[in-house]
């Protein structure tokens, strides 16, 4: 029997949903540094755009409680509709179901807040009622405590969800550095969002390959001058 979980993620076999990446939801996150969380979410979003992954953005109680989606995330997808909900469970909203169905792909990558509420309920219902395969991006999601996040991840994995990280998804989509049509864009995401890995890429580009520095303007370097 074929096991779909043995299939690697490709730009042609998956879609992605961002659930409640909103400031009030982020305020409650304690399982991951919140600036790191936003960095990872935006890096994942940029990767989705590079590889033309069908993308859904959904929010809950924007005006009444949660606030507007991070502008850095929205700016990756200018003009894109935002699917507003009242339910904590995205599966309860028909617009979300319709968007997922219209994208026509059973592998659904999920980045959302909070892991133990909005992510878990959506994942369980989407697997049970929609026959979707869920790939939960652990480091582009967050819970109210580390235990809340970790045990929610365990619950979803036990139910059949696949745990992944944002950079893993990015590089799985790229797969081969010979794919030159996406190479430069992937490297740009890495340099901006991948921490020490990105610093290493900058170092290699400038010191080994003698590429210009990744700055918006020039800077004169003044030679050492010993004090008298």
Catalytic residue among 17, 44, 45, 118: 118
* 14: annotated active-site residue: no
H or E stretch including 134? strand 133-137
Q: In what order do the strands lie in the sheet with 162-164?
A: 83-85, 55-60, 14-19, 107-112, 133-137, 162-164
Report DSSP letters for 38-83, one per residue: HHHHHHHHHHHHHTT--EEEEEESIIIII-PPPHHHHTTSTT---E
Helical H segments across the chain, by residue range: 23-27, 34-50, 71-74, 94-103, 120-130, 146-159, 166-174, 180-193, 195-203
Question: Residues with catalytic annotation?
Answer: 118
């Amino acid at each position: 029997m074929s096991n779909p979980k043995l299939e690697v993620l490709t730009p042609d076999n998956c879609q992605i949903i961002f659930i409640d990446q909103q400031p009030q939801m982020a305020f409650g996150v304690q399982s991951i540094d919140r600036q790191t969380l936003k960095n990872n979410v935006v890096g994942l979003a940029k990767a989705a755009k590079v590889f033309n992954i069908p993308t859904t953005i959904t929010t809950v109680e924007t005006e009444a409680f949660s606030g507007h989606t991070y502008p850095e995330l929205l700016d990756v997808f200018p003009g894109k509709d935002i699917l507003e909900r009242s339910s904590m469970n995205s599966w309860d909203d028909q617009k979300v179901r319709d968007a997922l169905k219209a994208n026509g792909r059973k592998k659904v990558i999920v980045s959302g807040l909070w892991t133990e509420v909005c992510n878990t309920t959506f994942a369980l219902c989407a697997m049970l009622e929609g026959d979707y395969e869920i790939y939960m991006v652990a480091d582009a999601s967050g819970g109210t405590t580390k235990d809340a996040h970790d045990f929610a991840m365990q619950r979803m994995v036990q139910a059949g969800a696949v745990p992944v990280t944002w950079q893993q998804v990015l590089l799985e989509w790229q797969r081969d550095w010979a794919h030159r049509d996406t190479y430069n864009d992937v490297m740009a995401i890495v340099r901006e969002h991948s921490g020490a890995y990105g610093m290493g890429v900058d170092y290699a580009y400038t010191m080994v390959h003698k590429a210009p520095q990744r700055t918006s303007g020039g800077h004169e370097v003044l030679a050492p001058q010993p004090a008298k």
